[in-house]
Amino acid sequence: MGSADKQALAMAVKAPLLAIGPRYDVNRDGVHYIAVKRDRDTGELLEQPPEWLSDKMELLGCGTDADGNHHRIVKWQRQGNGEVMTTALPSADIGERAGWALLRKGGLTLTTDRGGQARLAHWLQREGSTEWHDIVNMSGWQHGAFVLPNGDIIGRPNRKMHFNGRPKDASAYHPAGSLADWQSTVGALTLGNPLAMTTIACALAGPLLALCGARDGIGLHLYTNSSSGKSTCADTAASIWGDPQRTLHTWSGTALGLTNEAEASNDMMIYLDEVGSGDARKIGPAIYSMLNGVSKLQGAKEGGNRAARSWKLTMISTGEVAMSQYLTEGGQTPRGGQEIRLLDIPADTGPYRAFDHIHGRSNGEVFADELTRHARSHYGTVGRAFVAWLQDNRAAAVQWVEKSQQRMLAAVPEGAAPTVRRATRKFAILSAAAEMASHAGLTGWTVEQAIQGVETTWQRWMQAFGIEDRDDARLIDQAAAVLQASQYARFVLLPMNDSDPLVPNLMGYKRYTLEGEAVFLVTPGAFKGEVIAGYEVRHACEVLYRAGMLQRPKGRAGWTVHGGKGVGQVYRMQLQPHDGEAEE
């Protein structure tokens, strides 16, 4: 033994003994707990055989979500296929049934022994890295980067974060084929087909909404009877982000479920097929919720309210009838706000129904089948490339949207209702998205072709929708229908005789002019509760006055007139236009 070795041995003998205590050991076989026990004879502390607690896990760090809830970030391999799983485990669930269930659902096996679970809970809370992360549950723009539903991050976030979203099928957002494959098939075949080009623009507009400060989302509802090609156009849109078949959702669900799916599609597009499968009573509110992008106010278990969640998205929906007609047939009254959020787009206006050009194919059906096949084979590349382009051109993107809106608003017919102008602003965002993606070389179209495609669909929408205020038109129709249905059964004819009239569910009184026209004196309760039910009183009176159905009293600010002895204050109405003012 050399002198150096002797010196090292002497130092080792003099070194203080390390205290032996319980510890954890993580190796390829899993997480183990190693207890210590004092030997009865020697008094020496001895390590006991390792106790297996779970499959191997790695603790990557910790962080809080938008609600302030603390999490531990855990990584493991799923039992069976070895898929790498990473989740943010709520600290409040560690050691509880909910926490163990979350880990088991992810394919992690762990001990069923209560003592072992207690020791594993201690390890999850106290061991591993404590590197701080922001826990994000939504896709889209997050901390300067863009998060896809499968967890892929485009760009470099400005702070450490962990995506903890749970889409129904994360793998559906993995790309298939190359960008060039999509351009030579889907991009080439949709060129010259305004409806398909516009649905693609709708998908591209998702990440643009937040950048340009849009107040709400944009939805397109493609409607016509079956076998028109509308679902093919919707599939081409879905191919921008992922697999059209696996990213497809259904209207048949609860309002909360639909809202959750919308939240999971933040800054992207949600694809909903066949509105006829849903419940009209739930779909109307769901449209507002999904495209308004704000969650319901919810109370927290510990008191107070949870932080409201917000999102922005675009939407493609399909059905055999217009959404407004579907809601009406379901007993719901569509409102202009719904019609502008989810725009009814006729899907049979081209020479080949949904298509204007079939690029040499024998018929529209053959063309649609081929386009569908390509959209379901090449997907998930264009959206990624467009987001990367937007990250480098944020300021230019905002200016592009503004110019597109100015151009299209200048083409709106004079006298168009405010709802038409709002819808035009939305079409302009779609146009800007298609223009920018084409300018970036992503679609295979020129900028001029992109503009022509979207603006053709806009013109066709405006031709079907009209330029008048649809809510006002519905109010006039509703008021006329109520008066016509009730004029012979619920109005007392004036002058009355001495006996009290026996009219059940009285709406008011009726007299005839010298020309034989009926004048209805409607009681305030019937006027507000039936004639204009669902509409604000002041605005409704103005609309009916302009339509020639309601007379304004001379010299008074209100809308009621005195109907005479025994009648009281009433609204004076008639089905035929009048000269505008009523005598007291």
Find all residues with CB under 8 Å of 328, minimum gap 6, and list them: 334
Question: Rounded to whole angstroms, how far apart are CA atoms 494 and 510?
Answer: 6
DSSP state for residue 58 in the 8-state scheme:
E
CB 335 within 8 A of CB 283: no
- Whole-model pTM: value is 0.85
510 pLDDT higher than 80: yes
The pLDDT confidence band at residue 257, using thresholds 50, 70 and 90, is confident
pLDDT at residue 441, as a whole number: 98
DSSP state for residue 166 in the 8-state scheme:
-
The pLDDT confidence band at residue 578, using thresholds 50, 70 and 90, is low
* Mean pLDDT value across residues 4-21: 56
pLDDT at residue 4, as a whole number: 56
Share of the chain above pLDDT 70, in %: 92
Find all residues with CB under 8 Å of 555, minimum gap 6, and list them: none
Cβ-in-10-Å burial (0-12, 13-18, 19+) of 408 comes to buried
In terms of C-beta distances under 8 Å and separation of at least 24 residues, what long-range contacts does 244-250 make, across chains too? Answer: 244/271, 244/375, 244/376, 244/379, 245/376, 246/169, 246/171, 246/172, 247/169, 247/172, 247/173, 247/271, 248/272, 248/273, 249/168, 249/273, 250/274, 250/277, 250/278
Strand order in the sheet with 57-64: 84-90, 70-77, 57-64, 132-136, 161-163
Cβ-in-10-Å burial (0-12, 13-18, 19+) of 223 comes to buried
Per-residue pLDDT reduced to its tens digit, 303-332: 555 666 789 999 999 999 888 888 877 777
Question: Rounded to whole angstroms, how far apart are CA atoms 390 and 268?
Answer: 13
pLDDT at residue 306, as a whole number: 63
540 pLDDT higher than 60: yes
Measured at the alpha carbon of residue 399, what is the angle toward residues 397 and 401, in degrees to the nearest 5?
70
Better-scored residue on pLDDT, 485 or 554: 485
Cα dihedral 334, 338, 340, 345 in deg (nearest 10) = -70
pLDDT at residue 393, as a whole number: 98
Both tokens assigned to 357: 């050009």
Find all residues with CB under 8 Å of 107, minimum gap 6, and list them: 76, 77, 78, 79, 80, 83, 85
Q: What is the chain's mean pLDDT, rounded?
A: 91
584 pLDDT higher than 60: no
Per-residue pLDDT reduced to its tens digit, 42-99: 888 999 999 999 999 999 999 999 889 999 999 999 999 999 999 999 999 999 999 9
* Among candidate residues 395, 425, 442, 470, the one with its CA nearest the CA of residue 183: 442
Three-state DSSP at 39 gives coil
pLDDT at residue 165, as a whole number: 87
The H-or-E segment that residue 200 falls in is helix 194-211
Output the CA torsion sign for 336, 338, 343, 344.
negative
Find all residues with CB under 8 Å of 544, minimum gap 6, and list them: 475, 476, 479, 532, 550, 573
DSSP letter for each residue of 208-222: HHHHTT-SS-EEEEE
Measured at the alpha carbon of residue 29, what is the angle toward residues 24 and 34, in degrees to the nearest 5?
25
Question: Rounded to whole angstroms, how far apart are CA atoms 76 and 85?
Answer: 5
Find all residues with CB under 8 Å of 126, minimum gap 6, and list them: none
Residue type present at position 411: A
500 pLDDT higher than 80: no
Q: Which of 15-19, 122-126, 335-339 has the highest mean pLDDT?
A: 122-126
pLDDT at residue 12, as a whole number: 47
Per-residue pLDDT reduced to its tens digit, 353-411: 999 999 999 999 999 999 999 999 999 999 999 999 999 999 999 999 999 999 999 99
189 pLDDT higher than 50: yes
* Among candidate residues 579, 471, 444, the one with its CA nearest the CA of residue 532: 471
Share of the chain above pLDDT 90, in %: 73
The H-or-E segment that residue 7 falls in is helix 3-14
The pLDDT confidence band at residue 577, using thresholds 50, 70 and 90, is low
299 pLDDT higher than 60: no
Per-residue pLDDT reduced to its tens digit, 402-452: 999 999 999 999 999 999 999 999 999 999 999 999 999 999 999 999 999
